[in-house]
Amino acid sequence: MKLETLKVLSDKEVREIHEASLEILTDSGVKIYNPRMLSFLKGKGLKVDMENQLVYFTRSSIENSLESIPETFEVFDREGEFAFVLGDGVSKVAAGHNAIFWVDTETGRTRYSTVADVGLFSRICEKLEYIHMIGIPVMPQDVKNPADSLIYGVKAVIENSRKPVFFSTDNEKINNQIIKMLGAAFKGDLKSKVYGITQFSPTSPLYWEERVINAIMDTVETNVPIAILPEPNAGVSAPFTLAGLITMNNAECLSGLVMTQMLNPGTKVLYANSWTVSEMRNAAALVGSTETTICRIAGAQLARFYHVPSHTTAPNSDNHAHDEQNAWEKTFSMFCSVGAGNDLIVNCGMFATGMTCSHEQLVMDEEISAMSKRIADGLVINDETIAVDLIKGIGPGSADDAYLTSGHTLKWLRSDEYLAARVSVREPRALWESSGSKDTYQIARDRVRQFSTQRPVPFDRGRAEKLNDIVNKFRSGGE
The pLDDT of residue 335: 98
* Mean pLDDT for the chain overall: 95
Decide if 59 contacts 26 (C-beta within 8 A): yes
Q: How far is CA 284 from CA 100, 158, 276, 461, in A?
A: 18, 34, 9, 47
The H-assigned helical ranges of 96-187 are 115-127, 149-160, 172-185
In this predicted model, what pLDDT tens digit does every residue of 8-50 receive, in sequence order? 999 999 999 999 999 999 999 999 999 999 999 999 999 999 9
Confidence of residue 279 (pLDDT cuts 50, 70, 90): confident
Beta-strand pair 165-168/196-200? parallel
Average pLDDT over residues 182-211: 97
Amino acid (one-letter) located at 182: L
- C-alpha to C-alpha distance for 91 and 377, rounded to whole angstroms: 11
Of 18, 56, 49, 20, which is closest to residue 35 (Cα–Cα)?
49
For 110, residues 6+ apart whose C-beta sits below 8 A from its C-beta are 101, 102, 103, 104, 320, 356
Domains and CATH numbers, the chain: 11-66 (no CATH), 69-377 (3.20.20.480), 383-413 (no CATH)
How many residues can be counted in the chain?
479
The pLDDT of residue 476: 57
Phi first, then psi: what are they for 430, rounded to 5°?
A: -60, -45
Q: What percentage of the chain has pLDDT greater than the value 90?
A: 92
- C-alpha to C-alpha distance for 16 and 10, rounded to whole angstroms: 10
In this predicted model, what pLDDT tens digit does every residue of 335-375 receive, in sequence order? 999 999 999 999 999 999 999 999 999 999 999 999 999 99
Q: Helix, strand or coil for residue 426?
A: coil
Average pLDDT over residues 168-177: 95
The pLDDT of residue 477: 64
Res 440 pLDDT > 60: yes
The pLDDT of residue 299: 98
Confidence of residue 463 (pLDDT cuts 50, 70, 90): very high
pTM of the model: 0.96
In this predicted model, what pLDDT tens digit does every residue of 286-325 receive, in sequence order? 999 999 999 999 999 999 999 999 999 999 999 999 999 9
Output the CA torsion sign for 295, 258, 228, 245.
negative
In this predicted model, what pLDDT tens digit does every residue of 245-273 receive, in sequence order? 999 999 999 999 999 999 999 999 999 99
**Helix-then-strand count for the chain, H and E:** 17, 20
Confidence of residue 180 (pLDDT cuts 50, 70, 90): very high
Instruction: Name the maximum alpha-carbon separation found in the chain.
Output: 86
Average pLDDT over residues 79-89: 97
DSSP for residue 281: T
